A and B are shown apart, each in its own frame.
Chain A
Amino acid sequence: MTSEALAVPRRVLITGVSNPLGAEVARRLAPQVPYLFGCDVADPVSALEDMDFVHADTRHAVIGKLVRQLRIDTVVHMAVTVDSAREDRAAHETNVIGTMNVLAGCTVPASPVTRVVVKSSQAIYGAGPTDPSFFSEDMVGSERQGSLATRDLREMESLVSEFALRNSMSRVTVLRLGYRVTAETMLAKYLSLPIVPTFTGFDPRLQLVAEEDAAEAIVRAAIGAHPGVYNVAGAGVVLLSQAIAIMGGRAAPVLFPYARWMARFGLKALTGIDLPGHVADVLAFGSVADCARLTAEFGWSPAYPTRAVMDAFARGKEAEVIEAPSPPQEYELQVYLQRRRRQEHIGHRGGKALMGRQ
């Protein structure tokens, strides 16, 4: 395979395309690559004309078949969840077993896959009092205990690095995305409370990344070739008290800072917000990642600083939410478009030139 072929991804598969970030990545990738495939267990949030959607579960071995038959050369693995507290078992299945399957799918003999992008999270560092003020990419301790999500991510990334070692042909990029505040993340729900219970005597630094920046980083990793591990987070920090004030809430320092599972339990009983363990740790000790490597290697850094992300989220909370079209409808539309495209251009390469780009 020539380096020319390596330079441009032609057939891209996105796993976990149905979550909003996956949809955003697909939307941005679609005009840049000739063939785009997406798979997920759930229906997609929004229909994308240039993408073929497949119902596939990364926890099963179907991914290998998919990769071989569609002759995928770039896999963007985004079926990694870090924001669920309830279904810790399910998260383990998705993150560790799912990634294992995807990587196994990419290792089949004479595999066409030359590039793998894995979405990871800043949650891999955990948060504790002994941690330095900034996490750089090589600070993942194997011996350190952490919440379940942290340990899962660590296991997942060790699988990825093992894959990268064994398959020197494929370039593997791991992106550790910072904490995001979109409507569905637990952190955002927590910050949106009118009275926010915080840990007594702690005012940690929060670092956030905009959804657009997270998506852009993944797209850039898929298009360009930047093997390695990178932190992706906005510049600067806001204090938790500041974030709460920006949201127009009021901080109530009532949570007991030790044995944080009790605080999580109390918070769930009181407000119904089920904070994942690693988020609870961050709300006590803070977690800030150093993105110097991303800036140096990608020649790009997140456009929105943490403060801007927080301000934008606060403004978004005030704005009236237009109800999104229901997912089943979107799925129907997706299937319809796919069928129509196949009928119109059998044998053509997707028929993009005729249909026009969105």
Chain B
Amino acid sequence: MSAEPVEVHIEPKQLRRRSRKAEIVAPRPPGARLPRVIRRLQRNAPTYAMQGLVDLSTRLRQMTGREVIDLNRVMEFVQFAYQQRELSRRGADYAVDEFGFDPQWTESFLGVFKVLYRDYWRVETTGIAHVPATGRGLLVSNHAGVLPWDGTMIKTAMFVEHSQPRHVRALVASLFMGMPMISWFLRRTGQTVGHPDDTRRLLERDELVLVFPEGVKGTGKPFKERYRLRRFGRGGFVATAIRAGAPIIPISVVGSEEIYPMIADLAPVARTFGLPYLPVTPFWPWLGPLGLIPLPSKWRIQFHPPVHVETYPPEAAEDRNLVMAIADEVRDTIQAGVYQNLKRRRGVFV
């Protein structure tokens, strides 16, 4: 068999017959049909658009001498669009795990988060190698910014930087699980309730679990108290990690505090709506939905060396002294890392 391409000439008549055959296999949809020219245009529009974009990119490169349109980024967007179409086609034929996590659906959003990660917040990540490539692990991070963008960036960092991309399952306050849309999105993308039982189950499945021990006290703190860590709960995350035999990996995130500078908290209004806080920022609520756009601060994420609590026997989880000591140690590591990274960062927005 020769591999060289064979020129095949098909008679127009035969071509017509073939197209008719194809129509039998896929019956035409009911309703009025557009003229053939328009249909062909519709079919080929994405190709034409891509070709035009490639031409434009080449010409711009020739004119300016540098890459103006990064085609890789463009392809990521195209991929995203196609992935969404594929996802809508799969109907009910997909499986979610028992927590309601849909990995395929989640991965389709990675493109968007990667753009935020690289271009918007220009995240610099260090020490990602401290996260185990396989097996369980409890990631512990500081929590800031009114909305939990820090969680999404840590999850994205695992996909962008790590040699073995893995999904990180974050624990969220049960309060968010009662909110429409939010609860649906959180569950679907692999998050679960911050309940010790859920943490244990996830760790026993050898997952990476991300926990914010500060909780809503961290996200809802005013701007003037930025980068001052709140109390780390009652150290419950340490006890869970000891029981599950999972190493604790502390994470310091810098930059998340400036995305929504919270200058006031409309606490009474928040209470009537059952929210933990209702922030007032320079843009929210004055600009309406535009105020929800986070500011493009410069981010740094540092993964610290793991604290190997799996060396303790499971009974050590009952030892309050030990648990609180480890919790404090983790908190100090994160706080020190935050200060270090603040020093390394040249400015808030550069």
Binding site for B on A (CB under 8 A): 128-134, 136, 199-205, 236-239, 242-243, 245-246, 257, 285-286, 288, 307
Check B174–A133 contact: CB distance below 8 A: no
13 contacts between A and B (CB under 8 A): A131-B174, A132-B193, A132-B195, A132-B197, A133-B98, A133-B99, A136-B197, A201-B182, A202-B183, A203-B187, A205-B100, A239-B100, A242-B94
- Residues in A neighbouring B197, C-beta threshold 8 A: 132-134, 136
Check B180–A205 contact: CB distance below 8 A: no
Contact A200-B180, Cβ < 8 Å, known A129-B175, A133-B198, A286-B100:
yes
Chain B 197-237, CB-CB to A under 8 Å as 1, else 0, gives 11001000000000000000000000000000000000000
B90 to chain A, nearest CB (A): 10
- Residues in A neighbouring B183, C-beta threshold 8 A: 129, 201-202, 285
- Residues in B neighbouring A202, C-beta threshold 8 A: 180, 183-184
Check A201–B96 contact: CB distance below 8 A: no
How many A-B contacts are there with CB distance less than 8 Å?
77
- Residues in B neighbouring A200, C-beta threshold 8 A: 180-181
Of A128, A205, A245, the residue contacting B98 (CB under 8 A) is A205
- How many angstroms from the CA of A185 to the CA of B336 in the assembled complex? 58
- How many angstroms from the CA of A298 to the CA of B174 in the assembled complex? 33
Of B91, B98, B174, the residue contacting A134 (CB under 8 A) is B98
Is B129 part of the contact surface with A, judged by Cβ < 8 Å?
A: no
- Residues in B neighbouring A204, C-beta threshold 8 A: 100
Check B96–A239 contact: CB distance below 8 A: yes
Nearest residue, chain A, Cβ from B177: A129
Nearest residue, chain B, Cβ from A205: B100
Chain B 128-165, CB-CB to A under 8 Å as 1, else 0, gives 00000000000000000000000000000000000000
Interface residues of B in 175-196 (CB under 8 A from A): 175, 177-184, 187-188, 192-193, 195
- How many angstroms from the CA of A239 to the CA of B93 in the assembled complex? 11
- How many angstroms from the CA of A252 to the CA of B332 in the assembled complex? 49
A247 to chain B, nearest CB (A): 9
- Residues in B neighbouring A242, C-beta threshold 8 A: 92, 94, 96
Chain B, interface size category, equals 20 to 34
Contact A132-B198, Cβ < 8 Å, known A205-B96, A205-B98:
yes
Contact A237-B96, Cβ < 8 Å, known A132-B195, A201-B180:
yes
Nearest residue, chain A, Cβ from B99: A133
B205 to chain A, nearest CB (A): 12
A240 to chain B, nearest CB (A): 10
- How many angstroms from the CA of A130 to the CA of B179 in the assembled complex? 11
- How many angstroms from the CA of A233 to the CA of B187 in the assembled complex? 21
- How many angstroms from the CA of A7 to the CA of B187 in the assembled complex? 46
Name 5 extra pairs, CB < 8 A, besides A133-B100, A133-B195, A239-B96: A133-B201, A203-B100, A205-B99, A242-B92, A243-B92
- Residues in B neighbouring A257, C-beta threshold 8 A: 180
A296 to chain B, nearest CB (A): 15
Is B290 part of the contact surface with A, judged by Cβ < 8 Å?
A: no
- Residues in B neighbouring A237, C-beta threshold 8 A: 96, 98, 100
Check B180–A285 contact: CB distance below 8 A: no
Is B95 part of the contact surface with A, judged by Cβ < 8 Å?
A: yes
- Residues in B neighbouring A243, C-beta threshold 8 A: 92
Of A132, A199, A203, the residue contacting B188 (CB under 8 A) is A203
4 nearest interchain CB pairs? A201-B180, A129-B178, A245-B92, A201-B181
- Residues in B neighbouring A307, C-beta threshold 8 A: 95
Check A133–B180 contact: CB distance below 8 A: no
- How many angstroms from the CA of A200 to the CA of B181 in the assembled complex? 7
A76 to chain B, nearest CB (A): 30
- How many angstroms from the CA of A122 to the CA of B49 in the assembled complex? 55
Nearest residue, chain B, Cβ from A257: B180
A216 to chain B, nearest CB (A): 22
- How many angstroms from the CA of A285 to the CA of B187 in the assembled complex? 11
- Residues in B neighbouring A238, C-beta threshold 8 A: 96
- How many angstroms from the CA of A199 to the CA of B178 in the assembled complex? 12
- Residues in A neighbouring B95, C-beta threshold 8 A: 236, 307
- How many angstroms from the CA of A86 to the CA of B94 in the assembled complex? 36
Nearest residue, chain B, Cβ from A290: B201
- Residues in A neighbouring B91, C-beta threshold 8 A: 245
A288 to chain B, nearest CB (A): 6
- Residues in B neighbouring A288, C-beta threshold 8 A: 98
- How many angstroms from the CA of A238 to the CA of B92 in the assembled complex? 9
Check A133–B178 contact: CB distance below 8 A: no
Chain B 274-288, CB-CB to A under 8 Å as 1, else 0, gives 000000000000000
